[in-house]
Amino acid sequence: MLAPFRKLGQNPRPDQADDSARPPGEDGIPVTTATPAAPPPPHPAPVGCDAAPVIEWLMREGRQSTDIPTVVDAFARRLAESGVPLARLSLGLRLLHPQIQFMSYYWRAHEPAVEVIERAHGTELSESYLTSPVYTITEQGVEAMRFPLERMAPPWEYPILEELKDQGITDYALMALHFSDRRRNMSSFATERPGGFSTADLALIDAVLPAFSAVLETLILRRLAATVLDTYVGHRTGSRILSGDIRRGTGADLRAVIWYCDLRGFTSLADRLPRDTLISLLNGYFEIMGGAVEARGGEIVKFIGDAMLAIFPLPDGAGPLEERQACRLALAAARDALARIDARNAERAAWGEPTLRCGIALHIGNVMYGNIGAPSRLDFTVIGPAVNLVSRIEGLCKRLDRTLLTSAEFAAACPDPLDAAGWHPVRGLKDPVEVFGLPAVLTAVAA
């Protein structure tokens, strides 16, 4: 059944006068905040307003789409083929994402691609959102709204109405999209046809929206799963889990450059800093370390308290050239992270805040990469002697007063010069290990 359109003037914003007493226009829609124009031309007879073909396509082919822009483009074209004079279609979809609040999608008949805009958290507090009909649909519980723009004139109830009319839009309708978790989303439809949408056009759109919502929700859930996995276990690991690699004990041998870093003096900081300040400091530290790793193609495996384990994986069958490149990238990431720590410390010192000290260790070796843990709580991680060694080498950073140390294997494979820092005993190993650090000239410059 066609969702009842909000009569313009009902549910007015607090700064708007009550327009409910104004006389209705065509289709029983009161023309509020508008001066009636010349009578619009009669609607042409709609061409094929049967919703069944569009719904069947959505259920058979639309739900197989791999991304939202693809299905939005195909859906809009299906509506046009069914006789709806569509010039513009937009969607506002809520996401569960650490950085993004909404995703906006814009299809326009005269443009080749669907425009996608990410709306960051905080968008819901912006003036542009609070004064838009999207807010009325998603936050105030209104099911549908319609604005026959060719019969409207200033003052405008919403700023976007004037923009759309200037673009040649004659009719603008918004409808709520409901997901099964009760989240309210928004869809809008606009036409440039004189006379606007017919009742049959709007009935067709209304009839296909539940199926369209179901397809969109499926795609949003797929994206949510990928986002959660990327956020909490990393993109490489997330891809493996989504592909079905989830049984306990499964894994693969992998050769990689292994990164391990640790924040110095964290225990004393935790004792004297307020909780929120400590969390902010820790997030800033991990942002620097993780950002440097990911910018060079590495992947964060896990955070362990104030430490971080990451890898720069090598492809199967990698030879010396690939190893040299992976070592060079890892070393570049480490230098970048240390430089950014120095810059952050200069800012913190200027404000009288405690500075950050850290150690980074690099090694290259073979690891087992897979699922480990209890039956109901798994951890996708890397294990093996190489991981143990890199963590022990990082422990030497404090003892030798170094910010970066590497294993002899890493130094041999890395094309960039490194200085020998001697042989040293490490906990858990019978024989001492040889370690290398940044050349003395670079260390002096950094200091």
Closest residue by Cα to residue 86 from 214, 208, 216: 208
Residues 161 and 262 in one domain: no
Peptide bond into 39 cis (omega under 30): no
Residues with Cβ < 8 Å from 242, sequence gap 6 or more? 225, 226, 229
Question: Distance between CA atoms of 333 and 19, rounded to whole angstroms?
Answer: 62
Instruction: Return the pLDDT at 105.
Output: 94
Residues 199 and 68 in one domain: yes
Question: Distance between CA atoms of 193 and 113, rounded to whole angstroms?
Answer: 22
3-state secondary structure 55-91: HHHHHHCHHHCCCHHHHHHHHHHHHHHCCCCCCEEEE
Residue the block writes with tokens 């199926």: 211
Structure tokens at 199: 């009742």
Residue 30 located in a structural domain: yes
pTM: 0.60
Residue 385 located in a structural domain: yes
Looking at residue 59, which CATH number applies to its domain?
A: 3.30.450.40
Other CB atoms closer than 10 Å to residue 361's CB: what's the count? 26
Residues 61 and 164 in one domain: yes
Number of domains in the chain: 2
User: H or E stretch including 230?
Assistant: helix 199-233
Residues 220 and 322 in one domain: no
Report the residue count for the chain: 447
- Residue 367 is part of which domain span? 250-446
Instruction: Tell me the pLDDT of the chain (447 aa) as tens digits.
Output: 444 455 443 333 334 334 433 333 444 433 333 333 444 444 443 444 588 899 999 988 888 888 899 999 999 999 999 999 999 999 998 877 777 778 899 999 989 899 998 888 888 888 888 889 988 998 888 999 999 999 998 899 999 999 999 999 999 999 999 988 788 899 999 999 999 999 999 999 999 999 999 999 888 887 777 766 666 666 666 666 656 666 666 667 889 999 999 998 888 888 888 888 888 888 999 999 999 999 999 999 999 989 999 999 998 888 999 999 999 999 999 999 999 999 999 998 898 888 889 999 999 999 988 777 787 777 778 889 999 999 999 999 999 999 999 999 999 999 999 999 999 998 888 899 999 999 864 444 444
Alpha helices (runs of H) in 249-380, residue ranges in sequence order:
266-272, 275-295, 320-350
Residue 242 located in a structural domain: no
Residues 303 and 410 in one domain: yes
Q: Are strands 251-264 and 307-313 parallel, antiparallel or unpaired?
A: antiparallel
Instruction: Return the pLDDT at 176.
Output: 93
Instruction: Return the pLDDT at 237.
Output: 65
Residue 239 located in a structural domain: no
Structure tokens at 49: 């307003």
Residue the block writes with tokens 């193609």: 297
Residues 424 and 325 in one domain: yes
Residues 308 and 197 in one domain: no
Residues 222 and 368 in one domain: no
Instruction: Return the pLDDT at 18.
Output: 40
Residues 305 and 165 in one domain: no
Question: Distance between CA atoms of 216 and 186, rounded to whole angstroms?
Answer: 12
Structure tokens at 344: 């952050």
Residues 227 and 280 in one domain: no
Helix axes 199-233, 52-60, angle to 10 degrees: 10
Evaluate the CA torsion angle 109, 58, 84, 178 in order and state its sign.
negative
Instruction: Return the pLDDT at 114.
Output: 93
